[in-house]
Amino acid sequence: MKKFFTLISVAVLAIAAQANVLTVCDGTATNYLVPINGWYVDQEGTMSQMIYPAEMLTEMQNGMISQVKFYPEEVIEFDDCELQLSFKVVDENGFEETTAIEGATVVSKMDAFYGYTELTFNLYTPFEYTGGNLMAEVKVTYAGEYNWVSTYFLGVETENNASFSHYMSYGTPSNKLHQFLPKCSFTYEPASAPVDPVVAVGAPVFQGYTIDGITGYGVGITPTTEGSEIMYRVLIWDPVTEEWVLRTDWTLYQGNEGEIWFENNGEKVRIEAYAFIGESRSEDVAYEFTVATALDELMSGKTVAGVRYFNMAGQEMQQAEGLTIVVTTYTDGTTNAVKVVK
Q: CATH no. for residue 34?
A: 2.60.120
Q: Residue 307 pLDDT more than 90? A: no
Q: Is residue 11 in some structural domain? A: no
Same domain (yes/no): 24, 114: yes
156, 189, 222 - which closes a domain: 189
- Which of 43-52, 183-192, 316-325 reaches the highest mean pLDDT? 43-52
Q: Is 29 exposed, middle or buried (0-12, 13-18, 19+ CB in 10 A)?
A: middle
pLDDT in tens, 142-167: 987 766 788 999 999 999 999 999 99
pLDDT in tens, 31-70: 999 999 988 998 999 999 999 999 999 999 999 999 999 9
Q: Which pLDDT value is given to residue 134?
A: 98
Q: Is residue 330 in some structural domain? A: yes
When the pLDDT of each residue in the chain is averaged and rounded to a whole number, the result is: 81
* Residues 270-281, mean pLDDT to the nearest whole number: 88
Q: Is residue 68 in some structural domain? A: yes
Query: What SS3 class is residue 226?
Result: coil
- The CA radius of gyration of the chain, in Å to the nearest whole number, is 23
189, 213, 228 - which closes a domain: 189
C-alpha span between 126 and 292 (Å, rounded): 39
Same domain (yes/no): 118, 27: yes
C-alpha span between 131 and 330 (Å, rounded): 58
Same domain (yes/no): 74, 107: yes
- Which of 56-65, 146-155, 191-200, 238-247 reaches the highest mean pLDDT? 56-65
Q: Say how many C-beta atoms besides its own lie within 10 A of residue 171's C-beta.
A: 5
- Domains of the chain: total: 2
pTM above 0.75, yes or no: no
* Residues 205-231, mean pLDDT to the nearest whole number: 78
Same domain (yes/no): 145, 213: no
CA neighbours closer than 13 Å in the CB half-sphere of residue 15: 18
Beta-bridged to residue 325, according to DSSP, are 310, 339
Same domain (yes/no): 232, 162: no
Same domain (yes/no): 249, 126: no
C-alpha span between 183 and 189 (Å, rounded): 20
Same domain (yes/no): 119, 229: no
Q: Is residue 262 in some structural domain? A: yes
Q: Residue 187 pLDDT more than 60? A: yes
- Pick left, alpha or beta for residue 170 (phi over 0 → left; psi -120 to 50 → alpha; otherwise beta): left
pLDDT in tens, 104-143: 999 999 998 889 999 999 998 899 999 999 999 999 999 8
- Cα separation of the two ends of the chain: 30
C-alpha span between 120 and 124 (Å, rounded): 13
Same domain (yes/no): 158, 239: no
pLDDT in tens, 4-41: 333 322 233 333 345 799 999 998 899 999 999 988 99
Q: Which pLDDT value is given to residue 188?
A: 95
Q: Residue 263 pLDDT more than 80? A: no
Q: What angle do CA 202, 203, 208 make, to 5 degrees?
A: 135
For residue 55, what are the domain limits? Answer: 17-189
C-alpha span between 19 and 322 (Å, rounded): 40
Q: Is residue 10 in some structural domain? A: no
User: Under a CB-based contact definition with an 8 Å cutoff, are residues 235 and 245 in contact?
Assistant: yes
Same domain (yes/no): 142, 258: no
User: Under a CB-based contact definition with an 8 Å cutoff, are residues 151 and 76 in contact?
Assistant: yes
Same domain (yes/no): 230, 311: yes
Find how far residue 303's CA is from the centre of its chain.
40
* Residues 175-197, mean pLDDT to the nearest whole number: 84
159, 189, 219 - which closes a domain: 189
C-alpha span between 187 and 16 (Å, rounded): 10
